Structure 1
Amino acid sequence: MRLITIALWFGLALTSTATFSQSSDEKVATFAGGCFWCVEKAFEDVPGVREAVSGYAGGTEVDPSYEQVAGGQTSHTEAVQVYYDPSVVSYTGLLQAFWRMMDPTDLDGQFVDRGQQYRPAIFYHNEQQREIALREREKLREQNRYEDPVVVPVEPFTTFYRAEDYHQDYYKKSSVRYWIYTRNSGRFQFTEKVWGDDYDVDFRKFEDKPAMSDAEQPQASLDFSDYQKPADETLREQLTPLQYSVSQRGKTERAFNNEYWDEERAGIYVDIVSGEPLFSSADKFESGTGWPSFTKPIDDKFVVTKTDRSWFMTRTEVKSRYADSHLGHVFEDGPEPTGLRYCMNSAAMRFIPLDDMAEEGYSEYIDQVKD
């Protein structure tokens, strides 16, 4: 079995580091569903797929190595790009295959492989793929096959780095090790149980439907990639003195004397500056510290950590990715299932009640807020 945690993301436009070429009659799709050995093999079994290429996507570092990605040293995740003949299998057919090879309810990894470098995602290359992915995800939610909500993200494709040669077609090169790993991971047992008699289907029978009307459009994932943080003087005007000193200067508000430490309503906590989604009330717990505490972020892509050596100690600081707001610190003394305690400052966040989330543009996170 692989020793490092897993979680897949896909996406990203081909860069000069990708050595596999697309023929004129083919299309390309990018998916993430955990270990790329498993996802590559599963897609190469689909009729109409010429090749699936393992690689790294979703991060900002240039030309990452397997050791860096698997060790969680980059913002990339393992990914697979699929080259397929649309006259044989549609993008909808690929999505149907994708559902049957992964767990779309788990944002923290896939099966035995844990960590952001193995989180799942669908990365669309064009507007048609985005519409189809959103529509098929909504259909999957309506089937109620899973005990937990279907939350796999649908994100725009940007860059992709081909993995080292020894990872390509790993199931052929190291077949014994591959089968031992994938069977012990629980992947096949999970997907076969979830899909039952619907597990084995002809993926060529699924057609891409026409574009959705505005009324049919599911809400796309929030995109802060173009966000521009306001100037410091603007922030001083927009924020209260406490909000500014906490979020912009890394100060800490007083325990038991802040807005959300005892907040019990259902809702989402977002960055006070940018509105990035940070934490869900479903993951909030009473830590006894006097600050709002959570077991995990609601969406890993909006929360980053860094080493903090201030005050003659070493701690892990938590910040929002795009606004770069200081939120608090994370400690390893929290409850299950993560064992983590994200100890946050109320002044760095804004609380949006569940009933207001759709109106304010956070519909895609409603299922993660409901207990």
Structure 2
Amino acid sequence: MERRNFLRGAVIGTSAAVFGGTLMHGAAYAAPAQNGTSPYGGLLAADANGIMLPAGFTSRVIARSSQTVSGTSYTWHNAPDGGACYADGSGWIYVSNSEINPSGGASAVKFSATGAITGAYRILSGTRQNCAGGKTPWNTWLSCEEVSLGYVYETDPWGTNAAVQRAAMGRFKHEAAAADPVRKVIYLTEDETNGRFYRFVPTTWGDLSAGTLQVMVAGSATSGSFTWANVPDPDGSPTATRSQVSGSKSFNGGEGCHYANDTVWFTTKGDNRLWQLDLASNTYELAYDDSLVTNGAAPLTGVDNVTGSSSGDLFVAEDGGNMEICIITPDDIVAPFLRITGQSGSEVTGPAFSPDGARLYFSSQRGTTGSSSGGITYEVTGPFRATA
């Protein structure tokens, strides 16, 4: 079935909550997304920042690793990774993880209503290799440690409240998180070659201090039905969480995760796939697989972080590939939206829309140097479409 049936009413931003929308369920699955023309047209020559964009779009550099953020006294972190945006009065905040080990953590940049940078600061310290994460409906940032027996940390984008370790969400090689306010759960990906897809069911919605960790149970096919089973020992020791439940479905390198309108999508980098779970019918299918693109070369490889726009378009960042963020439309068309040039030793991370949907934030984790200290965080502004 076309993704348009799920995406109507999707909110702007990262893996944020969606509270409404009408679903129209078809009778069969459609083929995964195929090569096509972007609704924004082709990419123009690289701009002064080395970014190829469609007509009408412009870019600017927000921050550089190891350098002071303009207009502040704060030094931006190394290896910027997963991110999210938060409304802040008439302005907003962009949060970004730091994928280094040790240290890691996360930082934030604050913007005025005009987009001017008004502050930058640390919101999480002393953690390890914070890769992706997710936004909660109560406006916290879940920062995930991509290490063996890693934790999820719940952080305050405003930097007022101290970050809290959420051990009940399981100890494994965490990657991304996505909140589902309908079922009142948090979905979690695991970056292992035989990783699993999880959900955390809090005892009380809005409080992640206690609850039940569950794992997806399904067959080996690329589509079908699924169920959830409790993970007996979320601590993951001595037996890894991914090995505790017979019949749990293995995924090759779980990465980004996004929820909207009774659907959750997540990427697996080991096989360049985007998976789609219909949570209303408990069925799953492939939304994209580079090996199943039949009309030319696959435009999207190295699938990684994913977010969505108000139009229902998905934006998928590449770890490698052509250093692109590709769009996948509700009509199952995949095409490049932007390309970063001259940075082949890097990866694209942290795509997230500002609350009004007019600005897209993301980073090149290692920039032009290929080093974690060379990361660059960007903003792209332009006529993002409001409807598909």
What TM-score, normalized by structure 2, do the two folds share?
0.25
Work out which of the two has the higher radius of gyration on C-alpha atoms and give 1 or 2.
Answer: 1
Relative to total residues, which structure has the larger helix share, 1 or 2? 1
Relative to total residues, which structure has the larger strand share, 1 or 2? 2
What TM-score, normalized by structure 1, do the two folds share?
0.26
Q: Larger relative contact order (C-alpha < 8 A, sep ≥ 6)?
A: 2
